[in-house]
Amino acid sequence: MSQTNQILPEDQFSLKDILLKTIALKNLLVKQWKWIVSALLIGAASGFLYDFINDEPNYYTAKITFNLDSGSSPSGGGGGLSDLASAFGIGGGAATGSGLFSGENFYELLKTHALYNRALLTKVKVKGVDKIFAQYYLEKSGVLEDELEDDEELKKLKFVSTDPKKMSLKERKGLNTIYEYLSPVTYIGQDNKRSTFNTLSVTTRNDTLSNLWANLYLETVKKIYTETKTKKTRELVDLVKSRTDSLKTELYISQGKLARFADQNQQIIVQQGLVQQQRLSMSSSQLQGLYFEAERQLDNLRFSIAKESPLLTRIDENELPISPNLRPAAKGAKIGALIGLIISLLVIFIRKTYQDILSNPV
Protein backbone atom coordinates (compact mmCIF):
# COMPACT_ATOMS: atom_id res chain seq x y z
CA MET A 1 0.00 0.00 0.00
CA SER A 2 1.55 3.22 -1.04
CA GLN A 3 1.36 6.52 0.78
CA THR A 4 0.46 9.67 -1.03
CA ASN A 5 2.40 12.74 0.05
CA GLN A 6 0.29 15.86 -0.02
CA ILE A 7 2.29 18.94 -0.81
CA LEU A 8 0.81 22.17 0.61
CA PRO A 9 0.92 25.41 -1.36
CA GLU A 10 3.67 27.82 -0.44
CA ASP A 11 1.27 30.31 1.17
CA GLN A 12 -0.14 27.72 3.60
CA PHE A 13 1.31 26.10 6.74
CA SER A 14 0.48 22.85 8.40
CA LEU A 15 0.20 22.43 12.16
CA LYS A 16 3.41 20.45 12.06
CA ASP A 17 5.26 23.38 10.43
CA ILE A 18 3.96 25.79 13.08
CA LEU A 19 5.05 23.49 15.93
CA LEU A 20 8.48 22.98 14.41
CA LYS A 21 9.02 26.73 13.96
CA THR A 22 7.84 27.40 17.53
CA ILE A 23 10.26 24.83 18.94
CA ALA A 24 13.08 26.28 16.82
CA LEU A 25 12.29 29.77 18.09
CA LYS A 26 12.23 28.56 21.69
CA ASN A 27 15.57 26.82 21.26
CA LEU A 28 17.04 29.96 19.70
CA LEU A 29 15.91 32.14 22.60
CA VAL A 30 17.12 29.66 25.20
CA LYS A 31 20.47 29.46 23.46
CA GLN A 32 20.79 33.24 23.48
CA TRP A 33 19.41 33.80 27.01
CA LYS A 34 22.58 35.52 28.17
CA TRP A 35 22.19 38.20 25.49
CA ILE A 36 18.54 38.74 26.41
CA VAL A 37 19.19 38.98 30.16
CA SER A 38 22.12 41.31 29.60
CA ALA A 39 20.02 43.58 27.40
CA LEU A 40 17.24 43.62 30.02
CA LEU A 41 19.67 44.56 32.80
CA ILE A 42 21.38 47.24 30.73
CA GLY A 43 18.03 48.73 29.68
CA ALA A 44 16.65 48.69 33.24
CA ALA A 45 19.85 50.26 34.62
CA SER A 46 19.77 52.97 31.95
CA GLY A 47 16.12 53.75 32.73
CA PHE A 48 16.78 53.87 36.46
CA LEU A 49 19.72 56.22 35.89
CA TYR A 50 17.52 58.47 33.73
CA ASP A 51 14.87 58.59 36.48
CA PHE A 52 17.54 59.44 39.04
CA ILE A 53 19.03 62.27 36.96
CA ASN A 54 15.65 63.67 35.91
CA ASP A 55 13.89 63.20 39.22
CA GLU A 56 10.74 65.34 39.31
CA PRO A 57 9.29 66.87 42.49
CA ASN A 58 5.98 65.73 43.94
CA TYR A 59 2.83 67.42 42.70
CA TYR A 60 -0.25 68.14 44.82
CA THR A 61 -3.78 68.55 43.46
CA ALA A 62 -6.48 70.45 45.34
CA LYS A 63 -10.04 69.71 44.19
CA ILE A 64 -13.30 71.46 45.05
CA THR A 65 -16.67 70.35 43.70
CA PHE A 66 -19.33 73.05 43.76
CA ASN A 67 -22.64 74.14 42.35
CA LEU A 68 -23.22 77.75 41.30
CA ASP A 69 -26.85 78.85 41.40
CA SER A 70 -27.26 82.01 39.35
CA GLY A 71 -29.82 83.48 41.74
CA SER A 72 -33.37 84.61 40.96
CA SER A 73 -34.36 88.00 39.69
CA PRO A 74 -37.36 89.41 41.52
CA SER A 75 -40.52 89.64 39.51
CA GLY A 76 -42.78 92.59 39.18
CA GLY A 77 -45.51 93.58 41.60
CA GLY A 78 -45.51 94.32 45.30
CA GLY A 79 -42.98 97.12 45.04
CA GLY A 80 -40.45 94.85 43.33
CA LEU A 81 -37.47 95.85 41.22
CA SER A 82 -39.46 96.01 37.98
CA ASP A 83 -41.75 98.63 39.48
CA LEU A 84 -38.76 100.67 40.61
CA ALA A 85 -37.16 100.38 37.19
CA SER A 86 -40.35 101.64 35.57
CA ALA A 87 -40.54 104.51 38.05
CA PHE A 88 -37.04 105.65 37.01
CA GLY A 89 -37.71 105.15 33.30
CA ILE A 90 -35.62 101.97 33.01
CA GLY A 91 -37.29 99.10 31.23
CA GLY A 92 -36.66 95.40 31.57
CA GLY A 93 -35.98 95.04 35.29
CA ALA A 94 -32.64 94.03 36.70
CA ALA A 95 -31.50 91.14 34.59
CA THR A 96 -27.90 91.98 33.73
CA GLY A 97 -25.29 90.06 31.85
CA SER A 98 -27.55 87.01 31.43
CA GLY A 99 -25.51 85.88 28.42
CA LEU A 100 -22.13 86.53 30.01
CA PHE A 101 -22.30 83.45 32.23
CA SER A 102 -24.26 81.16 29.93
CA GLY A 103 -22.85 78.05 28.32
CA GLU A 104 -19.22 78.16 27.28
CA ASN A 105 -19.04 81.90 28.00
CA PHE A 106 -18.74 81.09 31.69
CA TYR A 107 -15.68 78.89 31.21
CA GLU A 108 -14.04 81.35 28.82
CA LEU A 109 -14.53 84.12 31.39
CA LEU A 110 -12.63 82.04 33.94
CA LYS A 111 -9.50 82.12 31.76
CA THR A 112 -9.26 85.90 31.47
CA HIS A 113 -6.29 87.92 32.71
CA ALA A 114 -8.62 90.26 34.61
CA LEU A 115 -9.92 87.46 36.82
CA TYR A 116 -6.45 86.02 37.45
CA ASN A 117 -4.93 89.43 38.20
CA ARG A 118 -7.65 90.23 40.70
CA ALA A 119 -7.12 86.92 42.48
CA LEU A 120 -3.31 87.14 42.35
CA LEU A 121 -3.35 90.61 43.93
CA THR A 122 -5.59 89.50 46.80
CA LYS A 123 -4.06 89.22 50.25
CA VAL A 124 -4.12 85.81 51.92
CA LYS A 125 -3.28 84.89 55.48
CA VAL A 126 -0.43 82.38 55.79
CA LYS A 127 0.57 81.37 59.32
CA GLY A 128 -0.96 84.56 60.67
CA VAL A 129 0.79 86.84 58.17
CA ASP A 130 -0.99 88.68 55.33
CA LYS A 131 0.69 88.25 51.96
CA ILE A 132 -0.23 89.17 48.42
CA PHE A 133 -0.84 85.82 46.75
CA ALA A 134 1.34 86.64 43.73
CA GLN A 135 4.31 87.08 46.08
CA TYR A 136 3.50 83.86 47.90
CA TYR A 137 3.33 82.00 44.58
CA LEU A 138 6.82 83.13 43.62
CA GLU A 139 8.12 81.94 47.00
CA LYS A 140 6.47 78.52 47.08
CA SER A 141 5.81 77.41 43.49
CA GLY A 142 9.41 76.45 42.68
CA VAL A 143 9.44 78.23 39.31
CA LEU A 144 12.25 80.55 40.43
CA GLU A 145 14.41 77.52 41.28
CA ASP A 146 13.72 75.54 38.10
CA GLU A 147 12.05 77.09 35.05
CA LEU A 148 13.01 80.72 35.83
CA GLU A 149 16.29 80.22 37.69
CA ASP A 150 18.04 82.75 35.42
CA ASP A 151 15.41 85.49 35.79
CA GLU A 152 17.11 87.75 38.33
CA GLU A 153 14.57 90.54 37.80
CA LEU A 154 11.68 88.30 38.84
CA LYS A 155 13.60 87.02 41.87
CA LYS A 156 13.96 90.59 43.15
CA LEU A 157 10.33 91.52 42.43
CA LYS A 158 8.16 92.55 45.41
CA PHE A 159 4.41 93.15 45.10
CA VAL A 160 3.41 96.01 47.37
CA SER A 161 -0.05 97.08 46.18
CA THR A 162 -3.31 95.21 45.60
CA ASP A 163 -4.55 97.89 43.21
CA PRO A 164 -3.83 97.00 39.55
CA LYS A 165 -3.80 100.70 38.64
CA LYS A 166 -0.86 101.33 40.98
CA MET A 167 1.33 98.52 39.67
CA SER A 168 4.65 99.23 38.07
CA LEU A 169 5.71 97.85 34.70
CA LYS A 170 7.84 95.18 36.42
CA GLU A 171 4.89 94.10 38.55
CA ARG A 172 2.65 93.79 35.49
CA LYS A 173 5.29 91.72 33.74
CA GLY A 174 5.58 89.52 36.82
CA LEU A 175 1.80 88.99 36.93
CA ASN A 176 1.81 87.97 33.26
CA THR A 177 4.57 85.46 33.94
CA ILE A 178 2.69 83.98 36.90
CA TYR A 179 -0.44 83.77 34.74
CA GLU A 180 1.43 81.78 32.10
CA TYR A 181 2.48 79.18 34.68
CA LEU A 182 -0.67 79.14 36.82
CA SER A 183 -3.32 79.07 34.10
CA PRO A 184 -2.42 75.61 32.67
CA VAL A 185 -2.55 73.98 36.13
CA THR A 186 -5.92 75.52 37.03
CA TYR A 187 -8.88 73.60 35.62
CA ILE A 188 -12.58 74.19 36.09
CA GLY A 189 -15.29 72.26 34.30
CA GLN A 190 -17.90 69.54 34.51
CA ASP A 191 -16.62 66.02 35.08
CA ASN A 192 -20.11 64.71 34.45
CA LYS A 193 -22.05 66.41 31.66
CA ARG A 194 -25.33 65.14 33.13
CA SER A 195 -24.72 67.00 36.38
CA THR A 196 -24.70 70.72 37.13
CA PHE A 197 -21.78 70.27 39.53
CA ASN A 198 -18.48 71.89 38.56
CA THR A 199 -15.02 70.75 39.64
CA LEU A 200 -12.12 73.07 40.28
CA SER A 201 -8.68 71.45 40.43
CA VAL A 202 -5.29 73.07 41.00
CA THR A 203 -1.97 71.21 40.72
CA THR A 204 1.28 72.68 42.06
CA ARG A 205 4.43 71.49 43.83
CA ASN A 206 3.21 72.74 47.22
CA ASP A 207 0.08 71.43 48.93
CA THR A 208 -0.62 74.68 50.81
CA LEU A 209 -0.20 76.66 47.59
CA SER A 210 -2.67 74.41 45.76
CA ASN A 211 -5.21 74.70 48.58
CA LEU A 212 -4.89 78.48 48.88
CA TRP A 213 -5.18 79.13 45.16
CA ALA A 214 -8.20 76.82 44.75
CA ASN A 215 -10.13 78.62 47.49
CA LEU A 216 -8.98 82.09 46.43
CA TYR A 217 -9.78 81.48 42.76
CA LEU A 218 -13.25 80.15 43.55
CA GLU A 219 -14.00 83.08 45.87
CA THR A 220 -12.89 85.54 43.16
CA VAL A 221 -15.16 83.86 40.62
CA LYS A 222 -18.07 84.25 43.04
CA LYS A 223 -17.33 87.95 43.65
CA ILE A 224 -17.09 88.80 39.95
CA TYR A 225 -20.24 86.80 39.23
CA THR A 226 -22.12 88.62 42.01
CA GLU A 227 -20.90 92.07 40.98
CA THR A 228 -21.88 91.51 37.34
CA LYS A 229 -25.21 89.90 38.15
CA THR A 230 -26.30 92.70 40.52
CA LYS A 231 -24.70 95.64 38.69
CA LYS A 232 -27.97 97.25 37.51
CA THR A 233 -29.61 96.83 40.91
CA ARG A 234 -26.65 98.39 42.69
CA GLU A 235 -26.81 101.35 40.32
CA LEU A 236 -30.47 101.77 41.24
CA VAL A 237 -29.57 101.52 44.94
CA ASP A 238 -27.12 104.40 44.56
CA LEU A 239 -29.71 106.44 42.68
CA VAL A 240 -32.49 105.85 45.22
CA LYS A 241 -30.07 106.40 48.12
CA SER A 242 -29.13 109.80 46.69
CA ARG A 243 -32.81 110.67 46.26
CA THR A 244 -33.60 109.52 49.82
CA ASP A 245 -30.82 111.67 51.27
CA SER A 246 -32.06 114.72 49.31
CA LEU A 247 -35.65 114.18 50.49
CA LYS A 248 -34.45 113.78 54.06
CA THR A 249 -32.56 117.07 53.89
CA GLU A 250 -35.54 118.91 52.36
CA LEU A 251 -37.88 117.40 54.95
CA TYR A 252 -35.72 118.58 57.83
CA ILE A 253 -35.52 122.07 56.32
CA SER A 254 -39.30 122.21 55.84
CA GLN A 255 -39.97 120.99 59.38
CA GLY A 256 -37.56 123.61 60.70
CA LYS A 257 -39.34 126.40 58.82
CA LEU A 258 -42.71 125.23 60.12
CA ALA A 259 -41.43 125.13 63.69
CA ARG A 260 -39.92 128.60 63.48
CA PHE A 261 -43.07 130.04 61.93
CA ALA A 262 -45.20 128.51 64.69
CA ASP A 263 -42.88 129.89 67.38
CA GLN A 264 -43.00 133.38 65.90
CA ASN A 265 -46.77 133.43 65.28
CA GLN A 266 -48.38 131.69 68.24
CA GLN A 267 -51.43 134.01 68.24
CA ILE A 268 -52.28 134.02 64.54
CA ILE A 269 -55.42 136.03 63.69
CA VAL A 270 -54.75 137.20 60.13
CA GLN A 271 -55.88 134.66 57.54
CA GLN A 272 -52.77 135.19 55.43
CA GLY A 273 -50.67 133.90 58.33
CA LEU A 274 -52.85 130.83 58.66
CA VAL A 275 -52.49 130.11 54.95
CA GLN A 276 -48.69 130.33 55.22
CA GLN A 277 -48.69 127.91 58.16
CA GLN A 278 -50.92 125.46 56.27
CA ARG A 279 -48.63 125.59 53.23
CA LEU A 280 -45.58 124.83 55.35
CA SER A 281 -47.43 122.00 57.07
CA MET A 282 -48.61 120.56 53.72
CA SER A 283 -45.07 120.77 52.29
CA SER A 284 -43.67 118.92 55.31
CA SER A 285 -46.34 116.22 55.00
CA GLN A 286 -45.66 115.74 51.29
CA LEU A 287 -41.92 115.54 51.82
CA GLN A 288 -42.44 113.10 54.67
CA GLY A 289 -44.56 110.85 52.44
CA LEU A 290 -42.01 110.95 49.62
CA TYR A 291 -39.21 110.24 52.07
CA PHE A 292 -40.97 107.20 53.55
CA GLU A 293 -41.73 105.88 50.05
CA ALA A 294 -38.08 106.32 49.00
CA GLU A 295 -36.95 104.43 52.11
CA ARG A 296 -39.34 101.61 51.26
CA GLN A 297 -38.01 101.45 47.70
CA LEU A 298 -34.44 101.42 48.99
CA ASP A 299 -35.20 98.45 51.26
CA ASN A 300 -36.83 96.61 48.35
CA LEU A 301 -33.74 97.17 46.20
CA ARG A 302 -31.44 95.86 48.90
CA PHE A 303 -33.66 92.81 49.20
CA SER A 304 -33.47 92.40 45.41
CA ILE A 305 -29.65 92.34 45.54
CA ALA A 306 -29.80 89.49 48.04
CA LYS A 307 -32.18 87.55 45.76
CA GLU A 308 -30.06 88.13 42.66
CA SER A 309 -26.76 87.20 44.30
CA PRO A 310 -25.62 83.74 43.16
CA LEU A 311 -25.41 80.96 45.70
CA LEU A 312 -22.18 78.97 45.57
CA THR A 313 -22.62 75.64 47.33
CA ARG A 314 -19.50 73.57 47.96
CA ILE A 315 -20.31 69.89 47.50
CA ASP A 316 -16.88 68.39 48.14
CA GLU A 317 -14.33 70.46 50.06
CA ASN A 318 -10.55 70.27 49.86
CA GLU A 319 -8.57 69.85 53.07
CA LEU A 320 -4.92 69.92 54.09
CA PRO A 321 -2.67 67.98 54.03
CA ILE A 322 -2.93 66.87 50.40
CA SER A 323 -1.37 63.57 49.37
CA PRO A 324 1.11 63.83 46.47
CA ASN A 325 0.03 62.55 43.08
CA LEU A 326 1.07 58.93 42.60
CA ARG A 327 3.65 58.36 39.89
CA PRO A 328 4.38 54.98 38.25
CA ALA A 329 7.05 53.21 40.28
CA ALA A 330 10.36 52.74 38.43
CA LYS A 331 8.79 53.95 35.20
CA GLY A 332 12.15 54.61 33.52
CA ALA A 333 13.53 51.21 34.53
CA LYS A 334 10.50 49.41 33.11
CA ILE A 335 10.63 51.29 29.83
CA GLY A 336 14.40 50.76 29.60
CA ALA A 337 14.03 47.00 30.20
CA LEU A 338 11.32 46.78 27.52
CA ILE A 339 13.49 48.64 25.01
CA GLY A 340 16.45 46.38 25.85
CA LEU A 341 14.30 43.29 25.31
CA ILE A 342 13.05 44.49 21.93
CA ILE A 343 16.54 45.43 20.74
CA SER A 344 18.01 42.09 21.87
CA LEU A 345 15.28 40.12 20.05
CA LEU A 346 15.79 42.15 16.88
CA VAL A 347 19.55 41.56 17.01
CA ILE A 348 19.08 37.82 17.57
CA PHE A 349 16.59 37.42 14.70
CA ILE A 350 18.63 39.53 12.28
CA ARG A 351 21.78 37.57 13.20
CA LYS A 352 19.97 34.21 12.76
CA THR A 353 18.55 35.28 9.39
CA TYR A 354 21.98 36.41 8.22
CA GLN A 355 23.52 33.06 9.23
CA ASP A 356 20.80 31.15 7.40
CA ILE A 357 21.46 33.17 4.26
CA LEU A 358 25.19 32.42 4.43
CA SER A 359 24.65 28.69 5.03
CA ASN A 360 22.03 28.32 2.29
CA PRO A 361 23.00 30.69 -0.53
CA VAL A 362 20.57 30.84 -3.45
Greater confidence (139 vs 68) lies with 139
Cβ neighbors of 58 (< 8 A, separation 6 or more) are 205, 324, 325
**Identity of the amino acid at 80:** G
Lowest mean per-residue pLDDT among 178-192, 213-227, 228-242, 347-361: 347-361
Convert 295-337 into a string of H (helix), E (strand) and C (coil). Answer: HHHHHHHHHHHHHHCCEEEEEECCCCCCCECCCCCCHHHHHHH
Pairing of the two strands 198-204 and 311-316 = unpaired
Domain positions in the chain: 30-56+327-350, 60-230+312-316, 233-308
In the structure, what pLDDT confidence band is assigned to residue 96 with cuts at 50, 70 and 90?
very low
Confidence at residue 3, expressed as pLDDT on a 0 to 100 scale: 43
- Any idea which of 80-89, 218-227, 345-354 has the lowest mean pLDDT? 80-89
* Model pLDDT for residues 151-161, shown as the tens digit of each residue: 888 888 888 88
pLDDT by residue (tens digit) across 27-86? 777 787 887 788 778 887 877 776 666 666 788 888 888 887 765 554 444 444 444 444
Kindly state the average pLDDT of the residues 207-215. Answer: 90
